[in-house]
Amino acid sequence: MQMFWVAFFISNMFFMGKDTRIKKLDVFLQKEKKFQWIMIINSLLDTDLYKFTTSYAYVKLFPNAWGTFVFKDRDETICSDEFLSRLKAEVHDLANVQLRTDELEYMCSHCRFVPRVYWEWLSSFRFDPDKVQIYLDDEKHLHIEVTDYLYKVTLYEVPLLAIVTELQNLTLGNVADKDQVLAKLFEKVELSNKHQISFSEFGTRRRFSLGVQDAVINYLNENSFYCTGTSNCHFAMKYGMKPMGTHPHEWFMFHGAQFGYKHANYMALENWVNVYDGDLGIALSDTYTSGIFLSNLSRKQAKLFDGVRCDSGDEFDFTDKLVARYRELGIDPTTKTIVFSNALDFGKALDIQEHCRGKIRCSFGIGTNLTNDTGFKPSNIVMKLTQCKMNVNQEWRECVKLSDDAGKHIGSEAEVRACLYDLRLGQQIEPLC
């Protein structure tokens, strides 16, 4: 109970004035010295919807498959021993997080595409801190690695990223200014409302803090005419919003490792249809470059899926190529949708929307620009699937991701080169992430 109030206090500090926050936090921590950490993650639903949809897909099709997720900080941040201690404490306390009965009933009633048996299983799921390897290397760079059955290990990604970002801010003494955040948000919402920019909140994994994300989503829910929902299931439940999401890059990376890179896109989409039978119909386009995706996109899949998500590269060029591909397949592109989610702000979203007008429908998934626009430098961190195997007896197979953005390929140099060669993209070799 005491731990709950620590978390409650920290989460609600955001609503105090800046000077008041600093003073109250200092006094509070002095009184509560015996507590060296806070519980940042208090709900199993405090994550992105597509973690659950992907977890269920693994359960249904590949229940014996294993995977490893590895943390990567693209900024190579120097971390302190204090930060490491707090992080280990937070991960230890993840074991206390479980799906509540009211949360189970909410997901059953609002996510009909996932059967109740999965949510019943999830109510018995517990994070296992012993499976999470955490350390600082000699240069004080953070390393995190988790290995388990794929349907379990995929659930670690978003909570761990959210914890790392918030703890980094706490350790550095970064305090978000409520008035500043809401003033910026007012301008963004005004632009969206004026120009009818349809968007969803996608900011959990790199949010400044739980409190900031809560305040942002609350404001969007009350003031935005065109916010269609949030990827965060906890906040969707709290504010009566629609939970948003389909599938992540890892789904395609798994298929690439197991079935070959030439067949990865096709197999991943076919298996998604086999699981969800037409629901969750936005296909991710850039795991092995958008060019390869478009060339692999069959007429059947183009008809079955409602649209695609563009998460890297040149959005304007991709729009034109996708529209051309739909027309080539005899499909009216104005009946389809592109969801753009590549580090967007609302100004760029407006430009993209104007480019799409009359060609294809569009909407936007906006994350960091909503939940970490505080004046402090946002984190640039990811956790990616690095290896997988179909069962315990199979040898590990490396997973890679090719990006439309230069320098963001994921994987060892040897495996990335092998992937590029298989896809006849050898001329596009870029520095690795």
Q: What is the pLDDT of residues 257-269, one digit of tens each?
A: 999 999 999 999 9
264 occurs within a structural domain: no
Whether 13 is in a domain gets the answer: yes
Tracing tokens 């739980």 back to the chain, one arrives at: 210
| Domain shared by 225 and 312, yes or no | yes
- pLDDT in the model for residue 16: 55
Indicate whether 201 and 157 sit together in one domain: no
Asked if 38 and 94 count as a contact pair (C-beta separation under 8 A), the reply is no
- Residue 32: per-residue pLDDT: 38
Pairing of strands 397-398, 381-389: antiparallel
Which DSSP symbol is given to 177?
A: -
Angle subtended at Cα 296 by Cα 290 and Cα 298, rounded to the nearest 5 degrees: 125
Per-residue model confidence (pLDDT) at position 38: 64
Nearest to 228 by CA among 192, 187, 199, 189: 199
Looking at per-residue confidence, does 105 or 28 come out higher? 105
- Give tens-digit pLDDT for 91-100: 999 999 999 9
Is residue 295 included in any domain, yes or no? yes
| Long-range contacts of 183-190, Cβ-Cβ distance < 8 Å, separation of 24 or more | 184/373, 185/216, 185/219, 185/220, 185/370, 185/373, 186/223, 188/345, 188/346, 188/369, 188/370, 189/219, 189/220, 189/223, 189/224, 189/227
Read off the pLDDT of residues 376-407 as tens digits, 9 standing for 90 and up. Answer: 999 999 999 999 999 999 999 999 999 888 67
pLDDT of residue 183: 97
Evaluate if residue 28 carries a pLDDT over 90: no
* Residue 389 zone, left/alpha/beta (φ > 0; ψ -120 to 50; rest): beta
One domain for residues 305 and 351: yes
Same domain, 66 and 94: yes
Question: Within this chain, do residues 31 and 94 fall inside the same structural domain, yes or no?
Answer: no
Instruction: Yes or no: say if 282 and 339 are a contact pair by the CB < 8 Å rule.
Output: yes
**Rounded alpha-carbon distances, angstroms, from residue 78 to 66, 143, 204, 332, 368:** 31, 11, 23, 50, 21
Q: Number of structural domains, the chain? A: 3
Same domain, 290 and 320: yes
**316 in any annotated domain:** yes
Instruction: Return the minimum-mean-pLDDT range out of 28-42, 73-87, 88-102, 190-204.
Output: 28-42
Tens digits of residue pLDDT in 307-338: 999 999 999 999 999 999 999 999 999 999 99
Are 286 and 143 contained in the same domain? no
Tell me the CB-side half-sphere exposure of residue 172, using CA atoms within 13 A: 17
Please report how many Cα atoms fall inside a 13 Å half-sphere around the Cα of residue 166, on the Cβ side. 28
Note whether residue 204 is domain-resident. yes
Q: How confident is the model at residue 15 (pLDDT cuts 50, 70, 90)?
A: low
Say if residue 142 is in the same domain as residue 74: yes
CA distance 44 to 98: 6
- Asked if residue 187 and residue 103 are part of one domain, the reply reads no
Closest CA to 208 of 328, 58, 356, 373: 373
CB of 144 closer than 8 Å to CB of 70: yes
Q: Measure CA 14 to chain center.
A: 23
pLDDT for residue 12: 54
Residue 319 in any domain: the answer is yes
CB distance 49 to 365 below 8 Å? no
pLDDT at residue number 1:
39
Q: Are residues 289 and 362 in the same domain?
A: yes
Burial readout 144-168 (b: 16 or more C-beta within 10 A, e: otherwise): bebbbbbbbbbbbbbbbbbbbbbbb
> How far is residue 219 from each of residues 178, 202, 244, 354, measured CA to CA in Å?
12, 15, 18, 26
**CATH number of the domain that residue 313 is part of:** 3.20.140.10
Q: How many residues does the chain have?
A: 433
Phi then psi dihedrals of residue 67, to 5 deg: -155, 160
Q: Residue 109: which domain range? A: 43-174+382-392
272 neighbors 304 (Cβ within 8 angstroms): no
Phi-psi region of 6 (alpha: psi -120 to 50; beta: other; left: phi over 0): alpha
Residue 25 pLDDT greater than 70, yes or no: no
The three-state secondary structure class of 138 is: coil
**Domain contains 429:** no
| Whether residue 207 sits in one domain with residue 195 | yes
pLDDT at 75 over 60: yes
Q: How many CA atoms lie within 13 A of 324 on its CB side?
A: 9
Residue recorded with tokens 């994350």:
367
Q: How many helices (H) and strands (E) does the chain have?
A: 19, 11
Q: How many Cβ atoms are within 10 Å of 286's Cβ, its own excluded?
A: 25
Give a yes or no: residue 305 inside a domain.
yes
3-state SS assignment for residue 428: helix
**CA dist 49 to 42, 55, 230, Å?**
16, 10, 9
- Beta-carbon neighbour count of residue 242 at 10 Å? 12
Lowest mean pLDDT among 126-135, 187-196, 371-380, 405-414: 405-414
Alpha-carbon distance of 74 to 157, in angstroms, equals 16
Whether residues 135 and 19 share a domain: the answer is: no
Question: What is the pLDDT, as a whole number, of residue 430?
Answer: 52
